[in-house]
Amino acid sequence: MSNQPLAERLRPRSLDDYIGQEHLVGSNAVLRKMIDSGNLSSIILWGPPGVGKTTLARIIANALDRPFYTLSAINSGVKDIREVIEKAQKQQFFSRPNPILFIDEIHRFSKSQQDSLLGAVEQGTITLIGATTENPSFEVISPLLSRCQVYVLKHLEKEDLLKIVDNALSKDPELKQRKVVIEEEQALLRFSGGDARKLLNVLELAVNAETGDEVVITNKKVTQLLQKNLAIYDKQGEMHYDIISAFIKSIRGGDPDAAVYWLARMLEGGEEVKFIARRLVILAAEDIGLANPNALLLAQSTFDAVHQIGPPESRIILSECAIYLATSPKSNSAYLAIDAALETVRKTGDLPVPLPIRNAPTRLMKELGYGENYKYAHAYEGNFAEQDFLPEKIRKERFYIPQNNTSEVKILERLRAWWGKRF
């Protein structure tokens, strides 16, 4: 029996074997064109775990016959980066293409570590391929981000996952020695969460749990097996997306005890504290909103603080924020308002801006009526003057509907004092 896990044994070696991400590597897709042309720029692959970021980087290096160096942001520092850059510089002779440096979890690199890459990327000493599960706009410094193309990898679809299972059963030498029958695949797919590596780990676990030559896989067997061996198929020992969902829904539902419990589960499972803090910022705007505008300020302060403090003390900051948000009044009126406005924009297109509120920086624009009859609010009693701000076609549309909480009741009173029956 091989010591290599199934996911590693089945790692694709070429684009033809690569499953999923057709928008990037399919026929005429952007990355395939880049590889076929041989003109590879520095890129960042952004997507959830187990969708093929590392595999794709290795395939690119093989296809282009480039030297390939790899670093993990978890255990590499500035010294390691400089050593790789020095090796790359020594290989710069004749017309040999520059090496590829692959950095896994590049979002974990500090600013100084990312700064150390800038010169080599800019001068073409190396071609950088970074992989991240976090939004690079937040986690990668602007100078480095501006020198890279960002490509988004998606969760694998059901068809992709089933194809991966079929490949495993038909191509893996060890699985081919067993008669594996998959009577039900729902549990396999559900526990994978769209993660190919996790899917293959679950499949291997299910097969190895049986001693005979014939293995029958059912939903019940997979579920029972994984309840006993959670850590085997998930390196954090947690159902990542289920736990964060429970955390968010507990806060939204106003239960501080459940909120700190699920927070503790994430922290104990090794979840990235910045990921948790970012979700709290989103929740503060989406679910609390105008019922308590201070919630967003506290959530943003929490995000900034955990950046500076880090574990283990950041757990206290996260706990304070989670409890505050859970016990805060809730409103999703801002969330509903912008979605309603976006839907109207998609339906009605580019409606003209009313003439009185157009910008009039030139004499010609003023002669055409731009800005004419505009009422400057501060020139009127109460700093308000009724006028039309929406395009005529949608003048009666309502997007913001104040909800029944102390803060928005006061907002509604103010709007009615200004606009009368419109609100």
pLDDT digits (tens, 9 = 90+) for 65-101: 888 888 887 777 788 888 888 888 877 665 677 888 9
Q: Which pLDDT value is given to residue 279?
A: 93
Does one domain contain both 40 and 129?
A: yes
352: buried, middle or exposed (CB in 10 Å: 19+, 13-18, 0-12)?
exposed
Does one domain contain both 202 and 229?
A: yes
Q: What's the pLDDT tens digit per position in 195-252? A: 888 888 888 888 888 877 788 888 888 888 876 655 444 444 445 677 888 999 999 9
Does one domain contain both 249 and 312?
A: yes
Q: What percent of the chain has pLDDT over 70?
A: 95
Mean pLDDT of the chain: 87
Q: Of the residues 122, 152, 182, which one is the last residue of a structural domain?
A: 152
Residue 197, domain member (yes or no)? yes
Residue 96, domain member (yes or no)? yes
Q: For residue 129, what is the domain's CATH number?
A: 3.40.50.300
Q: Which pLDDT value is given to residue 328?
A: 96
Domain that holds residue 209: 158-233
Stretch 318-335: mean pLDDT, rounded?
Answer: 96
Q: For residue 165, what is the domain's CATH number?
A: 1.10.8.60
Radius of gyration of the chain (CA): 27
CA–CA dist 134, 274 (Å, integer): 9
CA–CA dist 161, 195 (Å, integer): 8
Does one domain contain both 171 and 123?
A: no
| Apex 338 CA angle, 139 and 245, nearest 5 | 55
Domain total for the chain? Answer: 4
